[in-house]
Amino acid sequence: MSNTEIPTVNGKPLNEVIKELKDRFKIVGRDVELLLSLASKLAGKHLLLEGDVGVGKTTLAHAIANYFTQNLERVDGDDRYSAARLVGHFDPPMVIQNGYTWDTFVRGPLVNAMQNGSILFLNELNRMPEGTQNVLLAAMDEGLIMIPKLGMVKAKPGFFIISAMNPQEFVATTPLSEALRDRFAWIRLEYQSEEEERQITNYRSGVDDEQILNVAVKVARRSRNWSDLRRGSSIRGAIDYSSILNYLDRSEPTSWIDAGIMAFATKVEIEDGVDRRVEEIIKEIIGEVLSEQDFF
């Protein structure tokens, strides 16, 4: 491609496509990640998004799928998600009656996506057992998968896998095999800037009060580096905090504390060996942020 050629999607320059995606899905920032995701899709290179909880991995996957007007088969991984659930299985009573045919085979999301030329979104891929993960290898390499007693399934054009996973240091994750990682293009999503997180909180909560937005985002960000916490809050904590606080009497200091405990208690993890209740830690963080804002 010469220096004067501008990549396009459906006749639109990629920068216009990115703007359209951001407007349609209320995506704040992420221009580089959107550009790279589009490039991966256009190149037919299956995509792996890695990042902490709440950084927008699912939003990016849905945006790409919707833009290309493709069906999205979603799988939420866990340690019990078997290869049979991913590929499909035969229905025993139907097999007894009709034998091994496509009519007696219950298609799993992988086979559905391959036969329909859809996007397969594998959320929390590294929570799946290694045996389930390895089923993907042939489908990604050759667009083929063998179904015993039925034969080979060949993926239709458009078949594409987007996988999302938390960093490997998270609890209950299974490291991806070298063979599987090798078949993905990879993008890491980091937490966004404070200003971008304020915009996201505003969009998702519908709250316009600058005081609420500032405190909510500062508390979420402060929690990520708090010594008593192994894991701090994603932007979801700020969104929930803003939404709840918007309906309380903000002239009362207890409203800020109570709403914060409600919003953040389920979104943080206490560090091993810390003998404190989560309520105490959240109250401490909120108190520090409020004192800096000089509200009361």
Whether the per-residue pLDDT at 199 is higher than 90: the answer is yes
What is the CATH classification number for the domain harbouring 170? Answer: 3.40.50.300
Please check whether residue 201 lies inside any domain of the structure: yes
Number of structural domains, the chain? 2
In residues, how long is the chain? 296
Asked whether residue 232 falls in the same domain as residue 265, the answer is yes
Whether the per-residue pLDDT at 4 is higher than 80: the answer is no
135-188 confidence digits (pLDDT tens)? 999 999 999 999 999 999 999 999 999 999 988 655 556 788 889 999 999 999
Q: In angstroms, rounded to a whole number, what is the distance separating the alpha carbons of residues 137 and 181?
A: 10
Q: What percent of the chain has pLDDT over 70?
A: 95
Range of the domain at 235: 194-293
Asked whether residue 18 falls in the same domain as residue 139, the answer is yes
Please check whether residue 2 lies inside any domain of the structure: no
Which has the closest alpha carbon to 214: 284, 294, 283? Answer: 294
Asked whether residue 208 falls in the same domain as residue 253, the answer is yes
Q: What is the pLDDT of residue 204?
A: 94
Q: Pick from 160, 189, 218: which residue ends a domain?
A: 189
Handedness of CA 290, 291, 293, 296 (dihedral sign): positive
Asked whether residue 49 falls in the same domain as residue 164, the answer is yes
The type of residue at 278 is: V
Q: What is the pLDDT of residue 172?
A: 57
- For residue 198, count CB atoms less than 10 angstroms from its CB and return exposed for 0-12, middle for 13-18, buried for 19 or more: buried
- For residue 24, count CB atoms less than 10 angstroms from its CB and return exposed for 0-12, middle for 13-18, buried for 19 or more: exposed
Tokens 């390895």 belong to residue = 134
Asked whether residue 215 falls in the same domain as residue 229, the answer is yes
Please check whether residue 66 lies inside any domain of the structure: yes
Asked whether residue 284 falls in the same domain as residue 212, the answer is yes
Q: What is the pLDDT of residue 7?
A: 73
Please check whether residue 131 lies inside any domain of the structure: yes
Q: What is the mean pLDDT of residues 9-38?
A: 90
Question: Given pLDDT bands bounded at 50, 70 and 90, which one contains residue 5?
Answer: low
Q: What is the pLDDT of residue 93?
A: 94
209-263 confidence digits (pLDDT tens)? 999 999 999 999 999 999 999 999 999 999 999 999 999 999 999 999 999 999 9
Asked whether residue 185 falls in the same domain as residue 208, the answer is no
Chain mean pLDDT for the chain = 91
Alpha helices (H) along 209-267: 210-223, 235-245, 253-264
Asked whether residue 67 falls in the same domain as residue 32, the answer is yes
Asked whether residue 284 falls in the same domain as residue 265, the answer is yes
Asked whether residue 82 falls in the same domain as residue 206, the answer is no
Question: Given pLDDT bands bounded at 50, 70 and 90, which one contains residue 72?
Answer: confident
Q: In angstroms, rounded to a whole number, what is the distance separating the alpha carbons of residues 211 and 198?
A: 11
Asked whether residue 24 falls in the same domain as residue 53, the answer is yes
74-96 confidence digits (pLDDT tens)? 999 888 899 999 999 999 999 99
What is the CATH classification number for the domain harbouring 241? Answer: 1.10.8
Q: Pick from 144, 163, 189: which residue ends a domain?
A: 189
Does the pTM exceed 0.75? yes
Which has the closest alpha carbon to 190: 52, 9, 286, 29? Answer: 52
Please check whether residue 48 lies inside any domain of the structure: yes
Is residue 3 within 8 A of residue 174, CB to CB? The reply is no
DSSP symbols for 22-57 = HHHHT--S-HHHHHHHHHHHHHT--EEEEE-TTSSH
Asked whether residue 136 falls in the same domain as residue 229, the answer is no
Helix (H, G, I), strand (E, B) or coil at 8: strand
Q: What is the mean pLDDT of residues 31-42?
A: 93
Q: Pick from 133, 158, 189: which residue ends a domain?
A: 189
Please check whether residue 1 lies inside any domain of the structure: no
Helix (H, G, I), strand (E, B) or coil at 152: strand
Q: What is the pLDDT of residue 11?
A: 79
Q: What is the pLDDT of residue 287?
A: 95
